[in-house]
Structure 1
Amino acid sequence: MIILSLHTGYHDGTAALLDGYNLVAAVQLERLTRKKGDGGGIPEAAMDEVLAIAGLTRADVDVVVLSRASFPARYFKSNALKTAEYAFHKIIGHEKLKDMCTQMQQRGEGEPAKLFREEMFRADFGFKEGVKIAYSNHHMSHALSALFYTDWDDGLLYTADGCGDNVHYSHRVLKDGRLDCLFGGENMTLQPRRVDSLGLAYGFTTQALGYRMNRHEGKLTGLAAFGEPAQAAALGRHFNVDAAGVIWSDFDSDAAMRDEIHKLAKDAEPADMAASVQKVLEDTVLASVRAILKRHPVRRIGLAGGVFANVRLNRLLCEETDTDEVFVFPGMGDEGITVGGALQYLLERDGLDAWLKQRRRLSSVYLGRDYTADADQVLAANGALKRIDGNPADRAAELIASGKAGAIYDGRMEF
């Protein structure tokens, strides 16, 4: 069974292709457009790339899994006037995007299929008639990506990000052949969104220091090493962790959180502000994980979600929890929910027992196109290039030492 899984978010648009449980290809849109974090709408280029890698076309797909993110507005069922308006926007090339999860909330509808024009979607993108369309839960997808590529009998699956499907964190426990959701499940999709996201707080700090949210958070992680957490107490007092490990804040809106962080940043050196938000993140998430493990003792932790691109936090969770293993899914950002979304479909189709038996350790993250067979021929045909004789390693070292720049190609592109 060929499963095409798409993430249509405003950033990190991605496609993944699975043949049953086998991950065949996964490509983030930015790899093709050369725009970091590219997204917003349906990632057609990535979709066609993963299919081409497998030697397939859209007509070969059996199941399409969609994240509940951004789509052209015409794919949402609406009255005749709105339908005509959206059709006009398509004709003039100015289509509006609407977020599926937001549409679900506004309409009080928990079933995406009741909102989405599936037949139009199939026809527009050349999928065969009747191809199944499934929808993934953002944090469930993150969690399953961190579980499937393990062989654990027990484990805590902890996800955290800025926001996904109205949720900022999820906690799930695998134990005794059961996978139980403690927090952050589907029941929260239609509830009022909480104001407690440390991922968003980290993004607001990125913004306050003059960088771009959802792009430059890694710069703060590095900058934090050069500062002192002078504002950590002032920021940290807004967050707390209850006995169940749930993170809360006393902010009444995202805007209030943003304004407070910008205010604190004005009174601090950039490195100190970076160190401050880093400390708050570390202390709060560690307290949350410890509280969950106290109630639900397990020996392993699986992590996913954009917050866990923070390598210092990951190291702390390895060192400061009494566990045997910590696994972070390599596509921990929203690119990873394409893999997790397909795994969610398979879990719902096959049931937990069968799904768990299909697990395997992740053997590679090189899931893009492989040009090895064509590289020599293409390079040889370029008259402006010449082959350099000698031992490649020795000659490369000599050329670099003399001020030259080089590049290495070694198989498939990393996911």
Structure 2
Amino acid sequence: MTADSTQRTGPAFEGRRWMFPSALIHELGPDTERPGRPPRRTARDWVVDFICFLLAVGLGIVGADSVSGDPAIPAAVVAADQILGALACAALWLRRRLPVALAIVLTPVGMASLTASGAALLSLFTLAVHRPFRCTAWIGGVNIVTIPLYVWLHRDPGMPFAADVVLTALLTVSAIGWGLFVRAKRQLMLSLRDRARRAETEARLRAEQAQRLAREAIAREMHDVLAHRLTLLSVHAGALEFRPDAPRAQIVRAAGVIRESAHEALQDLREIIGVLRAGEPDDAGGRPQPTLAALDTLVDECRRAGMEVAFDSRVADPAAVPAVVGRTAYRIAQEALTNARKHAPGTEVTVSVTGARGEGLAVAVRNSPPEGDIPPVPGSGQGLIGLTERATLAGGRLEHGAEADGGFALRAWLPWN
């Protein structure tokens, strides 16, 4: 339901038990759309109004013939009856804008003029379509109660009084009942339309939320991937800056690591940006994402960068680990090694991976205490927050913290079914 439809709710409907949703009020009560101004009519509305006008004119002609054919009725009364009938038929063009006022006015007019009786019936039909049952019941009840008086005023000599009353009551009830049926059908259609509109809105919101979550996951992936590469760049660039007199072989090796890390970082960034532009959170179209089987390559890369890494893998078949679990374990180990390189350079790092199907996969990374004072690194702690969330989303858990000897340990468990 839109805000615009809410603003269209007429004040006459506030605080009533028969209050409808604003969309229903707008459709069933057109005069509430633009108070004080003529309502817009569609082509279908014009056709329906013209048919109602012709029907009222036809019924009025039948009534006028009946009145003019009775010699007991004076000519002045016949002329007044026909004039009232013509005015009542013309007033039907206001039935959409003023249904209540029209029904109230045509109640005594239809009683006094036989020519106007058809217009009075159509006004009751319009009232039942466009106004709630309580309003229709009051005005319709007055019309039904006055039927005996109407029949007495316009007595048909060829029909018994009781039969004439019953027939007129049936016509009145039929007009009101048909109007209530049309209103109920419109309410049902508008309710279904409003429900479909809400379903479309909810589906769009769910799609937007899924897209936002996918982009957040890509952002976390970007942090995990680029932090490792950029840390290598920072470490080796710092070594070249503070050790310009290092042996040529060491300088060449550091330059090679910088070049390779920069190339890998650009490649990873290009793939992530491509995924964001395509709006696809999947891994399709890029390089295969690393899993547990690629952990050996990560450790070798860290060793070539100068880290002391002891790697202990007790998983019989790393390729058998599910892709999501293996990728999560890889990112956890990668982030832990990056943190060890930033916060405890030169220390020995131990990486341990154990587990089996049905028991889960355990990843433990520990580094010994750093030597000397290490300056704080901007943005510290964000990677661990992301790892904790990643492990939780995979159905596992992650713990980390400093140990008694000053070292730092990270332990994670992931389900492997």
> Where on the TM-score scale, by shorter chain, does this alignment land: which range?
under 0.3
Structure with greater proportional strand content:
1
Q: Which has the larger radius of gyration?
A: 2
Structure with greater proportional helix content:
2
TM-score for the superposition, normalised by structure 1:
0.20
